Chains A and B, each alone.
Chain A
Amino acid sequence: MLEINNLHVSIEEDGTEILKGLNLKIGAGEVHAIMGPNGSGKSTLASVLAGKDGYEITEGSVSFDGMDLLELDADVRAREGLFLAFQYPIELPGVSMSNFLKQAVSSVREHRGLDPLSAGDLLKMMKEKAALVHLDPSLKTRAVNEGFSGGEKKRNEIYQLAMLDPKLAILDETDSGLDIDALRIVADGVNTLRSPDRSFLVITHYQRLLDYIVPDFVHVLVGGKIVMTGGKELALELEEKGYDWIKGDASLAV
């Protein structure tokens, strides 16, 4: 589904190198977690995969479902089935949730050769998917993320994920700022959306989320590289020992 080879990424503005030869392979239906200390490049990876401007790819390649991902514009990536759940969802004053979802869903469906949904079917789908993350259906008249609580914003990301039916969903620190109840709702939503043809890349700082969204693989990102890969038990080990012992190893490895 996704194959990252020797990815080197710098910040365009000042040339600071953030990712320094990252390798990662995600198969269809797999759930991968990336953990790492602050500043290790986790969010940069999410942004680069989603197609955000401001980064320079100096080396390496990313293939997504057989395509050269880095050649595609951000909106094309989304239509091809890549989804990013933002760490800090953006507020869009004046853009109603219903208009936003209508535009997004129709754009994605058109690209995938599907017939446009009737207004009734779209409404039905919105209701159904909102229920997955316990969002109030009345939110469709509200502006996107405007005045949403922290928890509502994160649930709204998973709601959009469900609406857009991606092949690969990247969750960027979806657990940050969530209390335990909201975390459980979000995780339940994600688990419902797990399927043999949908992969997940879960980026997180803490192990907590991985109690609920159980990954097939856990990778540790330190200094712009994946320095360790293991099963779900690696997350527990990290929780116990912190990142320092790996950092030590990583510096030896350089």
Chain B
Amino acid sequence: MEMKTNESLLIEQFDKQIGLIASESGSSGTNRRRQAIKAFADAGFPGKKSESYKYTPVTKWVNSHFKNSSLRIQTTTKSAFEHIDGIHLRTANGQLISTAPEGYGEGLTISSLVEASSSNSDVIGQYLSTAVVLERDPFSALATAFAEDGVFIHVHSGVDLKSPIVIHHDALFENGFVQPRILIVAEKGSKVEIVEHFSHVEAGSSFENRVVEVFVAEEAEVDHVAVIERDSAALFVNGLFVHQAEKSKFRTNTITLGGGLVRNNLNFLPDAEECETHLHGLYVAKGKMHIDNHTLVDHAKPNCFSNEMFKGIVTDEATGVFNGKVLVRQDAQKTNAYQSSKSIVLDRNAQIYAKPELEIYADDVKCSHGATTGELDEDALFYLRTRGIKPEAAKLMLLEAFARDVVDLIDIDGVQEYLYRRLHEILTVSA
């Protein structure tokens, strides 16, 4: 069906569709959708006056003509992470198209969300759409209202998955508009690594608006990596909402190397004591790419630790945006929160907007942030050249070293190597 992403049409469409969507886990799911469409209707797509989209104008992008499609199609494209020893899943148009491999492990449930809403209705009822904060971002609200299906991953209590779950998001319809959803629940004391790869797909001006919710229960550990390499015509909005219980650890590494407009909305709520949150990210923006990382760490409880590091390289006419907010609420005494953002601008037509925001209401905390934006270090370049290294090679060495810092923090076999190789390819042309 042809679909305009005009707000009122969307809302109209919602009203028509709501009766058709299988009411997952009874009426509470439907109610949540109604709240979501209301939040979206109140806010609308971010316009010129939106503070949080000030440097990321989306109007032109969302007014393209998209085809609303969440059809399951089979794909055979090779996946970059195929060789990783792990549990491999595949999505097309945001929908799970592969069943989890046989014997993929005790204590782990993987299915589509629709399937889970009948087979695991209690878990779905307890968690689905409860981490997403509808008022935070109109895109997340819209995705919540329209969510049709997606991926459900449930790691049972005490289970340590030795091998990672690798999700290949590798096909989209031409000009497709999809709003996929992922729900990850890591029960008490469990451990899981999840790698997501958004491969380069030629799909015209596609629009992916996704929401991922992650629940990390007491003493559980979740390690997450997302590698985004969509096409330069693609609009990609990535809403991540993480909820952490006591003594849990969550780590994410969001690597954006491709896409036309990419907005990563990364939200973390360490909602109990002694949580650890690590959020790392890297992006390389070339051509006319626009990459925006918006993060929020909401320290609500005492004795938690968070560490944030984002790095970006922009060149040509590309734009990079970083907005990192750390909120330390009054109860969150003894919080340790660190943030750093560094960017390199290689071309005078490229732009970076970086804004760290520290909001602290507790009085016994350790917080720091640092943001730097600049060109490549001239002294370092000169040093390399005095050793006979050609200027292009010297630049490449320094850019790779800069990016490596983030990639080195990824602890999953096969992912680092792939990223080193891709960065080398991408940066070779830029240097």
Question: Which residues of B are found within 8 Å of A52, using beta-carbon distances?
Answer: 382
Q: Is B379 an interface residue (CB 8 A)?
A: yes
Against B, the Cβ 8 Å flags (1 = close, 0 = not) of A67-96 are 000000111011100011010011011110
Against A, the Cβ 8 Å flags (1 = close, 0 = not) of B383-394 are 111111111011
* A107 and B389 in contact, given A53-B378, A94-B402, A99-B397 (Cβ under 8 angstroms): yes
Q: How far is the CA of A89 from the CA of B258 in the complex (A)?
A: 36
Question: Which residues of A are found within 8 Å of B400, using beta-carbon distances?
Answer: 94
Inter-chain contact A92/B388, CB cutoff 8 Å: no
Inter-chain contact A50/B386, CB cutoff 8 Å: yes
Question: Which residues of B are found within 8 Å of A53, using beta-carbon distances?
Answer: 378, 382
Question: Which residues of A are found within 8 Å of B379, using beta-carbon distances?
Answer: 90
Q: How far is the CA of A103 from the CA of B50 in the complex (A)?
A: 48
Question: Which residues of B are found within 8 Å of A79, using beta-carbon distances?
Answer: 388
Q: Is A44 an interface residue (CB 8 A)?
A: no
Inter-chain contact A92/B380, CB cutoff 8 Å: yes
* A74 and B382 in contact, given A95-B398, A108-B388 (Cβ under 8 angstroms): yes
Interface residue total, chain A, C-beta cutoff 8 A: 29
* A89 and B383 in contact, given A94-B404, A103-B393 (Cβ under 8 angstroms): yes
Against A, the Cβ 8 Å flags (1 = close, 0 = not) of B347-388 are 000000000000000000000000000000011101111111
Inter-chain contact A160/B402, CB cutoff 8 Å: no
Q: How far is the CA of A164 from the CA of B400 in the complex (A)?
A: 23
Q: How far is the CA of A108 from the CA of B384 in the complex (A)?
A: 12
Q: Is A111 an interface residue (CB 8 A)?
A: yes
**CB-contacts of B143-158 with A (<8 A):** none
Q: Is B18 an interface residue (CB 8 A)?
A: no
**Residue of B at shortest CB range from A96?**
B401
Question: Which residues of B are found within 8 Å of A160, using beta-carbon distances?
Answer: 387
Q: Is A51 an interface residue (CB 8 A)?
A: yes
Question: Which residues of A are found within 8 Å of B383, using beta-carbon distances?
Answer: 86, 89-90, 92
Question: Which residues of A are found within 8 Å of B393, using beta-carbon distances?
Answer: 103, 107
B97, chain A: closest CB distance, angstroms: 39
A217, chain B: closest CB distance, angstroms: 24
Question: Which residues of B are found within 8 Å of A111, using beta-carbon distances?
Answer: 388
Q: Is A148 an interface residue (CB 8 A)?
A: no
Q: How far is the CA of A163 from the CA of B402 in the complex (A)?
A: 26
Q: How far is the CA of A160 from the CA of B384 in the complex (A)?
A: 11
Inter-chain contact A74/B402, CB cutoff 8 Å: no
Against B, the Cβ 8 Å flags (1 = close, 0 = not) of A196-234 are 000000000000000000000000000000000000000
Inter-chain contact A107/B398, CB cutoff 8 Å: no
Give the interface SS of chain B, mostly helix, strand, loop or mixed. Answer: helix
Inter-chain contact A107/B388, CB cutoff 8 Å: yes
Q: How far is the CA of A93 from the CA of B378 in the complex (A)?
A: 14
Q: How far is the CA of A160 from the CA of B383 in the complex (A)?
A: 12
Q: How far is the CA of A164 from the CA of B386 in the complex (A)?
A: 11
B391, chain A: closest CB distance, angstroms: 7
**Residue of B at shortest CB range from A89?**
B383
Q: Is B405 an interface residue (CB 8 A)?
A: yes
Inter-chain contact B402/A78, CB cutoff 8 Å: no
Q: How far is the CA of A2 from the CA of B19 in the complex (A)?
A: 87
Which residue of A75, A83, A99 is within 8 Å of B385 (Cβ)? A75
Q: How far is the CA of A94 from the CA of B423 in the complex (A)?
A: 14
Q: How far is the CA of A79 from the CA of B391 in the complex (A)?
A: 13
Q: How far is the CA of A52 from the CA of B382 in the complex (A)?
A: 7
Q: How far is the CA of A74 from the CA of B401 in the complex (A)?
A: 22
Question: Which residues of A are found within 8 Å of B388, using beta-carbon distances?
Answer: 75, 78-79, 104, 107-108, 111, 164
Q: How far is the CA of A86 from the CA of B385 in the complex (A)?
A: 13
B227, chain A: closest CB distance, angstroms: 20
**CB-contacts of B235-252 with A (<8 A):** none
Inter-chain contact A92/B385, CB cutoff 8 Å: no
Question: Which residues of A are found within 8 Å of B404, using beta-carbon distances?
Answer: 94
Q: How far is the CA of A152 from the CA of B397 in the complex (A)?
A: 22
Inter-chain contact B405/A94, CB cutoff 8 Å: yes
Q: How far is the CA of A92 from the CA of B379 in the complex (A)?
A: 10
Inter-chain contact B401/A93, CB cutoff 8 Å: yes
Question: Which residues of B are found within 8 Å of A94, using beta-carbon distances?
Answer: 400-402, 404-405
Inter-chain contact A95/B378, CB cutoff 8 Å: no
Inter-chain contact A78/B385, CB cutoff 8 Å: yes
B387, chain A: closest CB distance, angstroms: 4
Q: How far is the CA of A195 from the CA of B16 in the complex (A)?
A: 88
* A75 and B391 in contact, given A50-B386, A95-B398, A103-B397 (Cβ under 8 angstroms): yes
**CB-contacts of A111-127 with B (<8 A):** 111
Question: Which residues of B are found within 8 Å of A84, using beta-carbon distances?
Answer: 386
Which residue of A50, A107, A164 is within 8 Å of B390 (Cβ)? A107
**Residue of A at shortest CB range from B402?**
A94
B284, chain A: closest CB distance, angstroms: 15
A10, chain B: closest CB distance, angstroms: 19
**Residue of A at shortest CB range from B401?**
A94
Please provide the 4 A-B residue pairs with the shortest distance between their CB atoms, ordered closest to farther. A94-B401, A104-B387, A78-B388, A90-B383
Q: What residues make up the interface of A, taking CB atoms closer than 8 Å to B? A: 50-53, 73-75, 77-79, 83-84, 86, 89-90, 92-95, 99-100, 103-104, 107-108, 111, 143, 160, 164
Contact sample, A vs B, 26 pairs, CB 8 Å cutoff: A52-B382, A53-B378, A74-B385, A75-B386, A75-B388, A77-B386, A78-B386, A90-B379, A90-B380, A90-B382, A92-B380, A92-B383, A92-B384, A92-B398, A94-B402, A95-B401, A99-B397, A100-B384, A103-B389, A103-B393, A104-B388, A107-B388, A107-B390, A108-B388, A143-B401, A164-B387
Contacts A75-B394, A93-B401, A93-B405 known; 14 new A-B pairs at CB < 8 A: A50-B386, A75-B391, A78-B389, A90-B380, A94-B405, A95-B397, A95-B398, A103-B393, A104-B384, A104-B388, A107-B387, A107-B390, A143-B401, A164-B387
